[in-house]
């Protein structure tokens, strides 16, 4: 069984664009809305792509700007200039 990773983001203006980008780039991701936040679960892996976020925001976006809207996460992180990903290693 592939265990879920998750990310939770604030429903701020930027946060909404990040959520939209994640849902578009991760077909298996499931977003659930709570008051003031969205939690997205995804089996095994989840990726946030700079290009996809920028497309939705209509401006430049540094991957590390995710810190401003992030609430919580689970999974091993990898961070480059192009993307931010979460994953559990396959057994």
Partner 1 sequence: MTATTAARPAKRLGIKEKYALMTRGLGWDTTYQAMDDVFPYDKFEGIVIHDWDKWEDPFRLTMDSYWKYQGEKEKKLYAIIDAFQQNNAQFNIVDPRYINTVKLFLTGVTPLEYAAHRGFALAGRNFRGTGTRIACQMQSIDELRHAQTQFHTISHYNKYFQGLHDATYMHDRVWYLSVPKSYFEDAMTAGPFEFVTAISFSFEYVLTNLLFMPFMSGAAYNGDMATVTFGFSAQSDESRHMTLGLEVVKFLLEQDPANVPIVQKWVDKWFWRGYRLLALVSMMMDYMLPKRVMSWAEAWEMYFEKNGGALFEDLARYGIRMPKHYEVSIKEKHRLSHETWNVFNNYGHAAAFNVWMPRPEEMDWLSEKYPATFDKYYRPRFEWYAEQEQAGKRWFNNTLPMLCQVCQIPMFFTEPDDPTQICYRESSYHGMKMHFCSDGCKNVFDNEPEKYIQAWLPVHQIYQGNCFPEGTDPTVPGFNPLVEVLKYYHFQLGADGGEFNTSPDRANWEKWTGQDLSAAPQAKAA
Which stretches of the chain bind partner 1, using CB under 8 A? 3-6, 8, 10, 34-37, 39, 63-65, 67-74, 76-81, 88-89, 91
Nearest distance from residue 77's CB to partner 1, in Å? 4
Question: Residue 24 or 77: which CB sits closer to partner 1?
Answer: 77
What are the phi and psi torsion angles at 83 (to 5°)? -155, 165
Place of tokens 């919580």: 72
Q: CA-based diameter of the chain, in Å?
A: 39
Min dist CB 23 to partner 1, Å, is 19
70's tokens: 């992030």
**Nearest residue (CB) to partner 1, 52 versus 69:** 69
User: Which positions ≥6 away from 89 have C-beta within 8 Å?
Assistant: 76
Instruction: Output the smallest distance, CB 82 to partner 1, in A.
Output: 10
Choose between 14 and 52: whose C-beta lies nearer to partner 1.
Answer: 14
d(CA 35, CA 24) in angstroms, rounded, equals: 22
């Amino acid at each position: 069984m592939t265990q879920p990773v998750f990310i939770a983001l604030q429903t701020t203006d930027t946060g909404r664009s990040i959520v939209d980008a994640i849902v578009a780039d991760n077909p298996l991701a499931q977003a659930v809305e709570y008051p003031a936040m969205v939690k997205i679960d995804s089996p095994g892996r989840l990726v946030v792509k700079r290009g996809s976020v920028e497309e939705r925001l209509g401006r430049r976006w540094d991957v590390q700007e995710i810190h401003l809207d992030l609430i919580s996460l689970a999974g091993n992180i990898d961070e480059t200039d192009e993307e931010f990903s979460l994953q559990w290693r396959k057994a």
